[in-house]
Amino acid sequence: MAKALSEILAEDVRAALTAVLGDAARDADPLIRPSDHADFQANGVLPLAKAVKGNPRELAIRVAAALVPAAAQPGSADAGSPAVSTSGVIAAVEVAGPGFLNLTLADAALAGQVAERLGDARLGVSPSTIGQTTVIDYSQPNIAKEMHVGHLRSTVIGDALVRLLEFDGRTVVRQNHLGDWGTQFGMLIQYLVEHPEARPAQAEHSGEVAISWLTALYRDARAEFEADGGFADRARKRVVTLQGGDEESLAAWEEMVAESKRYFEDVYGRLDVRLVDADAVGESFYNPYLADIAADLEQRGIAVRSDGALCVFFDGVKGPDGEPVPLIVQKSDGGFGYAATDLAAIRHRVGTLKADQILYVVDSRQALHFRMVFETARRAGYLPDGVEAVHVQFGSVLGTDGKPFKTRAGQTVRLIELLDGAVDHAVATVAEKNPDLDAEQARAEARVVGIGAVKYADLSTSRTKDYIFDLDRMVSLTGNTSVYLQYAHARIHSILRKLPVGTEPRVHADLALEPAERRLALQLDELGATLATVVAEFEPHRLTTYLYSLAQTFSDFYENCPVVKAPSAEVRENRAALVRLTGDTLKLGLELLGISAPDQL
């Protein structure tokens, strides 16, 4: 696999530092950074000069001399500098400011990187975590309920992380922790039993029909629950019979679960995310283990009875009254809450799924809950030292008024409606840009563009912050949106299609590069480093930033460096190689975010 230029430079500069300073520099970080003043700059001389109490500028001059043979450094020929064996990628070094090293790379080195990545299916990026298993819990919709913007964030971010982690070599186990249990099911089942006509007339129906009747069921059942005390009593009894395994109750419950899954599948299909039925593990799955968890924790003294509830307490977790606030494993009425379920899920994920890492892509409002659950699981040994558990939290979705995102009428926004809105919006733009497309083709293209825009908007802002959901902005399709990247990718394929017959993307390392070509090659080289950060921090927005910047650099190249009409066959092939690699990089990057990149737009 290709080593990135920044890594090669780090090794070279470290070698030069060590040659000049000896062991004092052996573990020093050369602090290689992209630079406005050269291809890269090394900032590592300054702290090192401080450490050895030397003059930073003088030290920088000696390191520069060691990096590049005196011949290339007319100003600082220094016979006393020790020779250093380096990779040879550096063409020139300049000492600037208080002791920065401005590093300019040889054109041939840039070309060499392009050549190496171009021929590789992974574009020269090596997987770093082969053999490790990540369990990732995301999406988490509730049975018999609409999905809304909160689910959108979890689903989109989770799906991107799945793709990114898999690309990094991990085995990824998706877990869609469905809300399929709770007292509200007593009410729903009872209503359904009493009103069989609430079901849709046709057996075969869409996900949209499924959620629409379930939503009506929920609404009507709640209304009757509040209006009719007799029904409320029967609903409460129904909870008990359901938990007792009553067949009629279970059948109704299973029917609702199946209907909901039909709807989820519809939504996931529209969103083009990889969640499937087999990934769904509802809360109810853990029911058989809850009593055992409670008994185990109580018996080992990790949890104690307090006001009848089985509780785990923590240092520094207090309520407004100054009293400690516990994690409640078992309620005083004997029932189990979601803390018990989450603990059982950890056991399952560690014990059965063999997780090395467990991720929870959940709203930041759950931060305290997860802190307590993880801490409890650590104490109980359910979460051993070798297993990492991370609450991959994200901020709330707000409307343009800065308040929680709602419709004008104050309702939560239905996910399907929101996605349809984005696609409808895109249809208009697509039709305007491509008048010759028929309605069906325009619709298909608008789906790719519109859904991509929604996902990109969500993924491109830093995860932990709240974010303002502005459909108009995200589907405006200008500027920093997914369509900019898709457009760059489509232009690339247009170029590749128009190459004269017989022209292949081929690197000619002996050609001098123009500034726009250099910038493009340099940026292409940073894909691996970008992905490494994204995976380490679970921050997909760093990838969107990289891709957007890459597409901007490509636009600059596009304006300044004709490919099809290049001045010579060699230049044409060389540029075609850059274009091809840029296209592949955009395509891969978007794919890892869950966004499609068609060859034509």
- In this chain, which stretch among 238-246, 353-361, 468-476, 500-508 interacts with RNA, using CB under 7 A? 468-476
Task: Tell me how far apart the alpha carbons of residues 50 and 218 are, in angstroms, rounded to a whole number.
Answer: 69
Beta carbon of residue 200, minimum distance to RNA (angstroms, whole number): 26
Q: Could you tell me the two tokens for 76?
A: 């600082």
Q: Which is nearer to RNA, 263 or 286 (CB)?
A: 286
- In this chain, which stretch among 15-23, 246-254, 263-271, 321-329 interacts with RNA, using CB under 7 A? 321-329
List Cα–Cα distances, 99 to 38, 50, 168, in angstroms: 14, 11, 37
Of 72, 237, 365, 424, the residue at the interface with RNA (CB under 7 A) is: 365
Helix (H/G/I), strand (E/B), else coil: 398: strand
Beta carbon of residue 269, minimum distance to RNA (angstroms, whole number): 22
Q: Which is nearer to RNA, 217 or 426 (CB)?
A: 426
Query: Contact at 8 Å (CB) between 199 and 210?
Result: no
- Quick check: 43 binds RNA (CB under 7 A)? yes
Task: Tell me how far apart the alpha carbons of residues 525 and 447 are, in angstroms, rounded to a whole number.
Answer: 32
Q: Which is nearer to RNA, 215 or 306 (CB)?
A: 306
List Cα–Cα distances, 476 to 153, 388, 404, 407, in angstroms: 20, 40, 22, 20
- Quick check: 542 binds RNA (CB under 7 A)? yes
Beta carbon of residue 203, minimum distance to RNA (angstroms, whole number): 30
**547: Cβ–Cβ under 8 A, 6 or more apart, which residues?**
485, 585, 586, 589, 590
- In this chain, which stretch among 84-92, 204-212, 428-436, 581-589 interacts with RNA, using CB under 7 A? 428-436
Interactions with RNA, residue window 495-514 (CB under 7 A): 495, 498
Q: Which is nearer to RNA, 172 or 281 (CB)?
A: 281
Beta carbon of residue 231, minimum distance to RNA (angstroms, whole number): 20
| Residues 563-592 as x/- pattern, contact with RNA by CB under 7 A | xxx---------------------------
Count of positions (residues) in the chain: 601
Interactions with RNA, residue window 206-265 (CB under 7 A): none
- Residue 278 has φ and ψ, to the nearest 5°, of -65, -20
- In this chain, which stretch among 148-156, 295-303, 484-492, 501-509 interacts with RNA, using CB under 7 A? 484-492
Query: Contact at 8 Å (CB) between 130 and 15?
Result: no
Q: Which is nearer to RNA, 2 or 348 (CB)?
A: 348
Q: Could you tell me the two tokens for 84?
A: 């250093």
Query: Contact at 8 Å (CB) between 21 and 139?
Result: no
Interactions with RNA, residue window 123-182 (CB under 7 A): 142, 179, 181-182
Of 479, 500, 502, 567, the residue at the interface with RNA (CB under 7 A) is: 479
- Quick check: 281 binds RNA (CB under 7 A)? no
- Quick check: 459 binds RNA (CB under 7 A)? no
Q: Could you tell me the two tokens for 246?
A: 């009553």
Of 35, 76, 212, 287, the residue at the interface with RNA (CB under 7 A) is: 35
Q: Quote the strand ranges of 129-193, DSSP E.
A: 133-137, 171-175
Interactions with RNA, residue window 438-457 (CB under 7 A): 445, 449
Q: Could you tell me the two tokens for 263?
A: 């709807």
**113: Cβ–Cβ under 8 A, 6 or more apart, which residues?**
2, 4, 5, 124, 521, 524, 525
- Quick check: 545 binds RNA (CB under 7 A)? yes
- In this chain, which stretch among 249-257, 350-358, 376-384, 469-477 interacts with RNA, using CB under 7 A? 469-477
- Quick check: 283 binds RNA (CB under 7 A)? yes
Task: Tell me how far apart the alpha carbons of residues 544 and 552 are, in angstroms, rounded to a whole number.
Answer: 12
Of 167, 225, 268, 558, the residue at the interface with RNA (CB under 7 A) is: 558
DSSP 250: H
Of 80, 320, 410, 567, the residue at the interface with RNA (CB under 7 A) is: 320
Helical pair 367-380 and 287-299, crossing angle rounded to 10 deg? 60
